[in-house]
Structure 1
């Protein structure tokens, strides 16, 4: 990325959503040149599959598929299937984000039905501070589900999971979700401009 002609440098920013979020946490923790990282409803532990990088290995956070809830309409709710990463058996799955060089911004949908995003953001904050690092910026969005997309995208309360081939519930209420997406778009830009360009403010988005 740093060699790309459109990348200003000297560092790059990462934006990760859901599973992509813990991949971005891992990249920020182990790769050089990453100056700022934004996570949208992400887990602080490695999920779904073990992570291998050079001589490093991070196991996947455990889960219990038996805790899947099926609604009357047949939509799945995954919220409670994931094990607690703070329990001793799962602690090794937590990504060592204290190794990262740059700051973090966590965007948390308080009606997320896929991840316990608020809980994971709190773990990240406590871990960073325990290692003498600055606490991350965390923005909480009440009534907002898992999919915080760019402004004016319609609310996606449920969708068919690519791997499972079944519909899963994301959560969110239309009005709250719409407002959250407009605000999050501006907050993401402000965060990246500050930590990549050194600008404290940016013009309001015209979207």
Structure 2
């Protein structure tokens, strides 16, 4: 990617959502050339399956489907099934983000019903600062759920989840979620322009 002709800055930026968020956290922690990272409703620990890199293995945080809840509408609510990454049995799933070189932007939907994204963002902030790293930027959006798409996409408040094979409630209120998607796009553009823009590069927002 660093050799791509469209990459004008000193490094590349990463943008990850949900499971893609913890993958981006791992990439920023272990790979060189990552200048800035944006996480949308991401977990601070490795999720679902173990992650292997060279001789290192990050365990997955683990979950218990016995803690699964069903809403009044018959939808699955997953928010409480995930284990606490700060507990001793789960700490080997925590991503060592203090090894990252670039800044972070955490975007949080405060009505995320997939997992506790706001809590994870502040765990990441405390971990970075405890290692003498820069405090990450955290932007929280009330009444906004898990599935945050680009602006003008219809809000996805529920859909079928492959892991459980049922309709899952992702959270959010339609209008607030829609407006958040518009603002989040601008926040991402601003963040990447600040940290990725090379001398000869230009950003064109066509949305």
Q: What interval of TM-score do these two structures reach, taking the shorter chain for normalisation? A: over 0.9
Matched residue, 2:117: 117
> What SS is found at the alignment partner of 1:188?
helix
Matched residue, 1:80: 80
Residue 174 (structure 1) shift: 1.3
Matched, 1:166 2:166: yes
Matched residue, 2:42: 42
Corresponding residue pairs, total: 205
Q: Is contact 1:40–1:108 with CA below 8 Å preserved after alignment?
A: yes
Provide the C-alpha distance between the structure 2 equivalents of 1:163 and 1:7, rounded to a whole number of angstroms.
Answer: 36
Matched residue, 2:180: 180
Residue 198 (structure 1) shift: 6.0
Q: Is contact 1:151–1:182 with CA below 8 Å preserved after alignment?
A: yes
TM-score, normalised by the number of residues in structure 2:
0.94
Q: Is contact 1:114–1:146 with CA below 8 Å preserved after alignment?
A: yes
Residue 53 (structure 1) shift: 0.3
Matched residue, 2:140: 140
List per-residue Cα deviations over 1:141-187 (Å, max 9, x = no partner): 00100011111111111011134332111111112111111110000
Q: Is contact 1:151–1:181 with CA below 8 Å preserved after alignment?
A: yes
Written as runs of structure 1 = structure 2, the 5 A alignment for 1:1-207 is: 1-197=1-197, 207=207
Residue 62 (structure 1) shift: 2.0
> What SS is found at the alignment partner of 2:128?
helix
Provide the C-alpha distance between the structure 1 equivalents of 2:90 and 2:163, rounded to a whole number of angstroms.
Answer: 24
Show structure 1 runs of 5+ residues with no match.
none
